[in-house]
Chains A and B, each alone.
Chain A
Amino acid sequence: GAGVSQSPSNKVTEKGKDVELRCDPISGHTALYWYRQSLGQGLEFLIYFQGNSAPDKSGLPSDRFSAERTGGSVSTLTIQRTQQEDSAVYLCASSFAGNTEAFFGQGTRLTVV
């Protein structure tokens, strides 16, 4: 597709389970971002990938959160032992390198029950 694709669009999981969220960036975009947005709140930066450079993980809230980007394309955000406070919309964005526009996917709405 032409845009950033995220899956699943909705995920309900039980507290304590692990979840994986997927992001397919726009073809050719070397930068990939993960954010989360809780209800009524702003975008919280989680992690940033740029080409082959080491990712900027400074926004990950705990060691339960990790992310990979394989082959410089698809990215997976993994949350282990989910907690209720992890409930949020997880947004992925991609862009060309440099100071260019980032395009967002429609997000994954995660609900931990």
Chain B
Amino acid sequence: RKEVEQDPGPFNVPEGATVAFNCTYSNSASQSFFWYRQDCRKEPKLLMSVYSSGNEDGRFTAQLNRASQYISLLIRDSKLSDSATYLCVVKRQAGTALIFGKGTTLSVSS
């Protein structure tokens, strides 16, 4: 079983739609969680960190369920510019590497 698993998609949605991505991780000792975004042929960039109590940044909401080892990302009112691959990222503990999921591809159309 891979350490971080995501539904690869693609998710094809119209502008204005709400879309949710899920991610599961296998190592219960994992301490930090992130969502990164990667545009085609570009390097990944941090979208948002994921906190235990859940957190929101504009149209984006991230949730963490430690008991189920599950992370989610909700995008409301999708924009064309949201089209990208969204990477779920887990850090086992301080002083260890970031482990990336394979990513979920989102395509928003007009």
Chain A residues close to B by CB (< 8 Å): 33, 35, 41-43, 45, 48, 50, 53, 56, 59, 91, 93, 97-99, 101-102, 104-107
Contact = CB atoms under 8 A, between A and B. Distances in A.
Contacts of B46: 101-102
A89 B100 CA distance: 15
B87 A99 contact: no
B94 A91 contact: no
Given A42-B102, A99-B32, A99-B91, A106 B43 contact: yes
The main secondary structure of chain A at its interface with chain B is loop
B96 A104 contact: no
Contacts of A59: 97
* Chain B interface bracket (under 10, 10 to 19, 20 to 34, 35 or more): 20 to 34
Contact of A45 (B43, B87, B99): B99
Contacts of A98: 94
A43 B95 contact: no
Contacts of A50: 95
Contacts of A56: 96-97
A72 to B, nearest CB: 15
Interface string B73-99: 000000000000001000100111111
B45 interface: yes
A102 B98 contact: yes
Given A42-B100, A42-B102, A45-B99, A99 B94 contact: yes
